[in-house]
Structure 1
Amino acid sequence: MKINDFEEKIIDNSFQTINEWWIESTADIHTQDQLIYCVEINGQSFYAGYEQLIVDNYQRIDFIRIVTKTKGESIEETFVTVKDYLDKFIPASSSIADSFYGELTDKEWSKFSQLIEGIEWILKAMDFLETLTINEKQKRATINMKIEIERIVSEMDNNLQRQDYVMVGDLIQYELVTALQNYMLEIQG
């Protein structure tokens, strides 16, 4: 059992022993103001759901390594990831918006579903940033952007129900894309 590349500890793989090690290790991580980035179990990395995986498979686990990052590293990495994602998401959103000005095919509806999944990912990343960010300007920009995205999505839903597809295209093109471009400028500044 390891935390990052330190504190290698050999323990038996009883549930109680692994659980005690886990509680002690995560408490140490918390007191050091660190976050769990991922957990490697038998050489495979898990970014979520690792606790349940350990509980369900503790008898077959030979090795656990907890990889941590500081809050600052996590924030910076998330901002970089969001920026990289938005660099691709914004042009794709414009393309999807264009499809709402004509006849929508199954392929275009599929792309729209992907757009909605992308928005959900962006909102989750913003939740993470809002929780950790101490820079007030970036935190305020993130909170305001979440509110704006949620408003736009609600309006898109209302217009989809009315089958006003031109308005959906306008919301994507002129509100969502513009808001995300402005957010990128705010968090970079």
Structure 2
Amino acid sequence: MPEKKLKDQNMPSRKEMLDQMTISANQYLDRALPEIKVLADGFYQGPSEETWKSLLQLLEGIQWLLEYMNHLVCHKELYANGDKFREISANLQNQLHQFEEALKSQDATLMGDILHFEVILILESAKNEILMIIDKEGIGHDLN
């Protein structure tokens, strides 16, 4: 029994895990936002094999972000702005639905527009809220 107790003490709390996810989300968005602009341009120019690969990577990243935001909404009592992620998530899911419709109709220009004018703005909004968490909670200050 003492081993279990010791193991539990070494387990991060839910808040610590969400703090770590917040830092990861911020780092992901730092890398992804400029790449989404490049991806949108790829759709405007006619998608290449590389464009489709980049889209798949973006969709995987967005799926992870949606899961992260769902955790924040479920534990909104841990962060002052946690409930704002409900709206951000809903907006992002709506745009993914619009993107799916553009994909079905093979409208590459619309796909580029959705990425450039909608998805980027939503993810920038998410990044701003994430930065508020980082600043308010004082997390990530020791990371380089």
Tell me the TM-score range normalised by the shorter chain.
Answer: 0.7 to 0.9
- Indicate the residue corresponding to 2:28 in structure 1: 85
**Deviation string for 1:8-50 (max 9, x for gaps)?**
xxxxxxxxxxxxxxxxxxxxx6xxxxxxxxxxxxxxxxxxxxx
CA distance in 1, matches of 2:80, 2:94: 21
Task: Give me the whole-angstrom Cα distance separating, in 2, the residues matched to 1:133 and 1:143.
Answer: 10
How high is the sequence identity, in percent, across the aligned residues?
Answer: 22
Q: Identify the residue that residue 71 of structure 1 maps to in structure 2.
A: 14
C-alpha root-mean-square deviation of aligned residues, in Å?
2.1
> What TM-score does the superposition give when structure 2 sets the normalisation length?
0.80
Structure with greater proportional helix content: 2
Structure 1 runs (4+) deviating above 3 angstroms are 1-4
User: SS of the counterpart of 1:107?
Assistant: helix
Q: Does 1:104 align with 2:47?
A: yes
Select the structure of larger CA radius of gyration.
1
Deviation digits for residues 78-134 of structure 1 (CA, Å, limit 9, x no counterpart): 211111111111111111111000122112111111111111111111122222231
User: Which gives a bigger RCO, structure 1 or 2 (Cα 8 Å, sep 6+)?
Assistant: 2
- Measured in 2, the distance between the counterparts of 1:120 and 1:186 equals 18
**SS of the counterpart of 2:77?**
coil
Unaligned residue ranges in structure 2 (runs of 5+): 133-144
Larger strand share, 1 or 2: 1
> What residue ranges of structure 1 are gaps of 5+ in the alignment?
8-28, 30-65
Alignment CA distance shift 1:88-1:134 (3 Å):
same
2:65 to 122, 136, 142: 122
Q: TM-score, normalised by structure 1?
A: 0.63
The total of aligned residue pairs comes to 131
